[in-house]
Amino acid sequence: MHIDKYTDAILNCRFCFMCRHLSGIGNVAFTESDTPRVRASLLYGVTTGRIQLDNPDVIACLYRHDLSGACRRNCVKHFDEIGLNLAARADIVASGCAPASIQALADSLMQTARWTVDGSGEVLYFVDLYTQETGTVAAAFAKIMAKAKVSYQTVSGGCIGKGLKTLGYLPEAAAAAKQFAAVVEKSGAKTVVVSNPAAYDALVNDFPALGIKLAATVMHTSEYILSLALPWQNPQEVYYLESDFLRNYNSDLPAPHSLLQAVGAKNRPFGTNDEESYTCGEGAVLLPRIDASLVEKLAQYIEARADAPSTDRILVASPYTKLMLGKYTSLHVQTLEEFVAEAI
Amino acid sequence: MLVSSNSYMYEMIRSELTDIVGSEFVCTHEADKFGHSIDYYWIPEMWHDRGMETPRPDFVISPANAQEVSKVIKLANHYHIPVVPWGGGSGSQGGALPIFGGIIMDMKRMNKLIRIDRESLTVTCQAGIIAQHLEWSCNKEGFSTMHLPASISCATIGGFLAHRGTGVLSTKYGKIEDMVLSLEVVTPTGEIIRTLPVPRHASGPDLTLLFTGSEGTLGIITEATLKLHPQPEAREFRAYIFKDFHTAMSAGAELMRSRLQPCAIRLYDETETITHVRKVFNMELAQGSYLVFGFDGRKDITACQMKYAREIMEDKYQGQDLGSKGGDLWWENKYKFFYPGFMFHLPQAFGTLDTVATFDKIEAVYWAMKNVVTENFPQARFIGHFSHWYEWGCMLYARFIFEPQDVPKDPREAVALYNRVWNMAIRAAIANGGVINEHHGVGIKLGHLMKELYGPAMPVLEGIKKQLDPNNIMNPGKMGFKGV
């Protein structure tokens, strides 16, 4: 079983409470089962045969996880309960126990795994489905690139494997990743730039784990814009909400903060702490299609922690988080690209 | 539970509960019921580790306010269903386990910070708020509860109150019972009451303290007003190594008798200095007993307190000064001791035999417990530190550890061994002037020793329980009170 690779997480998380305060879903649903302790303990029960992985309640519990990685980051030993959960999902799928709704979602993702490439240049900008859905992020990036006088290609399309991986469909995720890698290869691009941190994580971590080596360098838009060393300033007071993927999955990628500093933004601490995930479940990628009510609660949890919800300027790295906060709260949210483009 | 989950009566009760708190907050999912079947008590953990079934609740209820708590309790009285309050589930004594099934009243939905009073320096909150969340909110306003235990990330304020919890700065700021001003409580018959608004008065016995430490057996704490403190201008620590535990204890006691008001003192016996302090700090230490203490407050006053404390440590007891760095390391790593990788874990068997006694008895208690464990269970290790200090004595945080090869494979035999250690060690503590617990509570782990501890006073406690909870629905079988 896939979970056998995570025995250390099972054994160390199953009775541990030290990251309970960072359980995203647990904090909004008030449920004990939505914590690393109980999920790991349930999966320990699976390894002993006391608990069955085809139990619908157990499956539902495992698919409610927001996969933020805040708990793993908090842990002194960084035990990987996120990896454990993803492995359990893969076991559920492999054993044919995926709920029909999850299977349908995976089927729909597989159908999106095709991409179109436009433009010319050595930079390839990936416009994933969430970035497309914002309707503004790609335009902001285009504005920046026009001012910087850099011509670039765009690749637009659906799942490059990340969503399928989070659902537990590993072979299908690998197939989508390989197809996307071929598209990148064919483009001849030397640099792939992505706005969506989930896509960034897929390209820098998931692809190599699958043995897929891109010839191009992968950069998040914050890294790429920073590398342009543009002179624009936007010295406003902002609250930057960390991305799960950039912070908790990629060792605190410094570029978002560096970019804010470079454009002169005054970044104020949001909420009461810098440990919780304020992303609406970014790590789970597809949580809105698994249980939208949880995303709504996560969004409202964030709104309740704003100093002045009606006037605060919230910045995010993730188009997903922008979409969810826009849908469920009255917060004013921009992505980093939009904030920089505003100064042009 | 009196009815099978397959019966229509079960569904009738579910409907009534749903009518009170809403369907979203009446949970019967296996995953959530399982989540409430294990806390931080070694026996249920071991039971699960060995593939055994742990006792589940029939319903998990998440009320939003005291009114809903009251209605659920009245319903439970009507049907004689056990109600077990659950905060963060980090209790180590089994106090929140649904040993007779029934209703788990999970309090975490009651997580509102109601008010910060900047004039009186108090905070009022619902009891289900996780302590770290409350602390963060207070920090943002420039204050602290100064309640900083290792379980801060999980335990709720109600849980701390129900078990008389404590934190690393207790030596100056007190235990939770010293921090609380007043409570809102739902009694076992469903009345919503408030204790008096202030903790110091001459208006009769103190109801706040009656419910504090009652572990959900006398009612459910739904709201609390606690003291706040400004964040200190300075907080300084210093550590020393003493040649042996006795000398370190003498120095610590002298520091308390000096009334210099340290915010923390922690003294590790020679064994724990080697096994834990060195490991967590990743530093070499001379043989001996490690003692760390600190002061906080105004910078000039803190410096003055530290000066006199150093004189005690160095001039009178010849402590080897590890400097402020040696002390700061402890402060920075104060929670690290409890993370996996540094904490004991199954398949080891381990327990925290915490007790408290006056200075004239505490060393005798330590040696009595250590001797009884090591002589009767030579395969066990015994370590101890002294974490919470008072003007008159201090708390012993002793632990025994059995390595996996020394723990019976049969879970029933493991329980028997575990309880033999507990019984002998705690009886040794009582015989030498200790009590059965200092800040973890009683639960099911120590309930059977309550009569021995209280003696003729136990019927007083039992009378209070019977009067308040005539149907014995509130957390039955805990704290030495009878089961269903």
Domain boundary assignment for chain A = 2-98, 109-226, 230-342
Q: Please state the φ and ψ torsions of residue B61, each to the nearest 5 degrees.
A: -115, 135
Chain B residues close to A31, C-beta within 8 Å: 27, 32, 35, 62, 106
Yes or no, beta carbons of B32 and A61 under 8 Å apart: yes
Q: In the CATH hierarchy, which top-level class contains the domain B349-445?
A: alpha beta
Pairing of strands A332-335, A313-316: parallel
Percentage above 70 pLDDT, chain B:
99
Backbone angles phi, psi at A32, to 5 degrees: -70, -35
Phi, psi at residue B35, to the nearest 5°? -60, -25
pLDDT at B2: 59
d(CA B472, CA B454): 21
Minimal CA–CA distance to B453: which of B382, B368, B357? B357
CB contact under 8 A, B338 and A18: yes
The residues facing A220 across adjacent strands are A194
**Inter-CA distances, B316 with A340, B250, B264, B313, Å:** 64, 10, 20, 6
Give the nearest partner residue to B153 out of A18, A38, A49, using CB atoms.
Answer: A18
- Of A27-31, A91-95, B243-247, B329-333, the poorest mean pLDDT is in B329-333
Q: Find all residues with CB under 8 Å of B103, minimum gap 6, and list them.
A: B17, B57, B58, B59, B60, B61, B72, B76, B81, B82, B83, B84
What distance in Å separates the CA atoms of residue B77 and residue B474, rounded to the nearest whole number? Answer: 9
Partners of B437 in the β-ladder: none
DSSP result, A234-287: ---EEEEEPPIIIIITTT---HHHHHHHHTT-EEPPPTT-SSS--SSSGGGSSH
- CATH match of A230-342 with 2.60.40: no
d(CA B213, CA B159): 9
How high is the mean pLDDT of chain A?
Answer: 97
| Domain segments of chain B as ranges | 8-108, 110-230, 234-338, 349-445
- Say if residue B347 is preceded by a cis peptide, omega within 30 of 0: yes
Provide the pLDDT for residue B326.
Answer: 83
Separation of alpha carbons B252 and B394, rounded Å: 9
Residue of A nearest to B61 (CA): A31
Q: Which whole number is the average pLDDT over B111-117?
A: 98
The matching CATH number, chosen from 3.10.350, 3.40.50, 3.30.70, 3.40.1000, for A109-226 is 3.40.50
Coil, helix or strand at residue B1: coil
Partners of residue A58 in chain B, C-beta under 8 Å: 30-31
Give B-chain residues touching A33 at CB under 8 angstroms: 29, 31-32, 34-35
pTM tops 0.90, yes or no? yes
Give the number of other Cβ atoms within 10 Å of residue A247's Cβ. Answer: 24
Of B1-10, B18-27, B44-53, the least confident: B1-10
CATH 3.30.70.3450 assigned to B234-338: yes
Please state whether A104 falls in left (phi above 0), alpha (psi between -120 and 50) or beta: alpha
What is the average per-residue pLDDT within A108-128? 97
**Chain-centre distance for alpha carbon B74:** 29
∠ Cα A176 A182 A183 (to 5°): 90
Residue A225 CB-density burial (10 A; 0-12 exposed, 13-18 middle, 19+ buried):
buried
> Given a cut of 80, is residue B276 above it in pLDDT?
no
In this predicted structure, the answer to whether residue B209 has a pLDDT above a threshold of 80 is yes
| Nearest chain A CA: its distance from B291 CA (Å) | 24
Q: In one letter, which amino acid is B338?
A: F
Q: Do B34 and A51 touch (CB under 8 A)?
A: yes
CATH topology match: A109-226 vs A230-342: yes
- According to the model, what pLDDT value does residue B1 have? 52
**Nearest to residue B363, comparing CAs of B380, B386, B382?**
B386
Is the predicted pLDDT of residue A159 greater than 80, yes or no? yes
Secondary structure class of B228 (helix, strand, coil): coil
Q: Identify the CATH class of B110-230.
A: alpha beta
**pLDDT, mean of residues A286-312:** 97
Q: What is the CATH number of domain B8-108?
A: 3.30.43.10
Q: What is the mean pLDDT of chain B?
A: 96
DSSP alpha helix (H) spans, B207-281: 207-211, 245-257, 270-272, 278-281
Chain B hits for A36, Cβ within 8 Å: none
Chain B residues within 8 A of A76 when measuring between CB atoms: 336, 339-342
Phi and psi at B388, nearest 5°, equal -130, 120
Q: How confident is residue B60, by pLDDT bands cut at 50, 70 and 90?
A: very high
d(CA B449, CA B466): 19
